[in-house]
Amino acid sequence: MRHLILSDMHGNHEAFQAVLRHTRPETFDRVLVLGDLVGYGAAPNEVVEAVRGMTNLTLVRGNHDKVVAGIDEGENFNQVALAAARWSARALRDENLAYVADLPQGPCDVAPGLAICHGSPIDEDTYVFSDYDAFEIFSAYDRPLTFFGHTHVPSVFSVDQQGIEVRALRGEGSLRLERGTRYLINPGSIGQPRDRDPRAAFMTYDDAEQLVSWHRLAYPIAAAQRRILDAGLPPVLAERLAVGV
Ligand code: ZN
């Protein structure tokens, strides 16, 4: 089975459209969406409707989805994130807001040995940045392969008899998964990359080949920025897209 892995679109229609046109999700056996469809970007309806139109989809909610839907108050959000979440809640059409509110909580099993979550499989709102963060998860959660989002940083954490290895992924590449090693893998963010590469990030996974590949795609950033400024959202949300932070 070939999987397309998409995360953290954050209402960035221009980035998401570019990825969908390039990858053609309908040509994959399964699409995995790791949450944060909305928040930050100025096109929440377009992104939600594109996800709603997908088939063979397994998805989980993100922390921004929860705040936009009113499931979470967002008391740990900064002012910019909170302002964008409130704007998104007002902007979303009723049926799209209902879809966001109904997104399932992770972790979610996709197939035997394969799971997805937003932050961590232990807590959907927790960030996995360090080897110690990964150690805590590997000690408590036994799936061989889990894809997660939330940090917006493409990365691979693996554990075998020798210990934990961390790889921050740059550009494009691929990794053949080893039997007996367990993995936590982050595809990075489509709508708001934070690894100083402003291109949209996503992954593909072929389970027959045991091959995970990471990809970057340039998209019309200026159009996404213009939409944010026109919406009256905080300008920093437009500025950061150009530098990938
Ligand atoms: Zn996010």
| pLDDT, tens digit (0-9, with 9 covering 90-100), for 197-230 | 999 999 999 999 999 999 999 999 999 999 999 9
Please give the distance, rounded to the nearest whole angstrom, from the Cα atom of residue 77 to the centre of ligand 1: 12
Residue 90: predicted pLDDT:
98
Please give the distance, rounded to the nearest whole angstrom, from the Cα atom of residue 121 to the centre of ligand 1: 16
Residue 239: predicted pLDDT:
98
Segment 180-190 shows an average pLDDT of 98
Please give the distance, rounded to the nearest whole angstrom, from the Cα atom of residue 133 to the centre of ligand 1: 18
Please give the distance, rounded to the nearest whole angstrom, from the Cα atom of residue 45 to the centre of ligand 1: 17
pLDDT band for position 191 (cuts 50, 70, 90): very high
Please give the distance, rounded to the nearest whole angstrom, from the Cα atom of residue 10 to the centre of ligand 1: 7
Segment 178-198 shows an average pLDDT of 98
pLDDT band for position 100 (cuts 50, 70, 90): very high
Q: Is 106 exposed, middle or buried (0-12, 13-18, 19+ CB in 10 A)?
A: buried
Please give the distance, rounded to the nearest whole angstrom, from the Cα atom of residue 161 to the centre of ligand 1: 32
Segment 137-145 shows an average pLDDT of 97
Q: Tell me the pLDDT tens digit for each residue of 57-99.
A: 999 999 999 999 999 999 999 999 999 999 999 999 999 999 9
> Closest by alpha carbon to 84, among 1, 180, 191?
191
Q: How far lies 112's CA from each of 83, 85, 146, in Å?
A: 40, 35, 11
Q: Are 166 and 134 in contact (CB under 8 A)?
A: yes
Give the CA radius of gyration of the chain: 17
Please give the distance, rounded to the nearest whole angstrom, from the Cα atom of residue 157 to the centre of ligand 1: 19
Residue 233: predicted pLDDT:
98
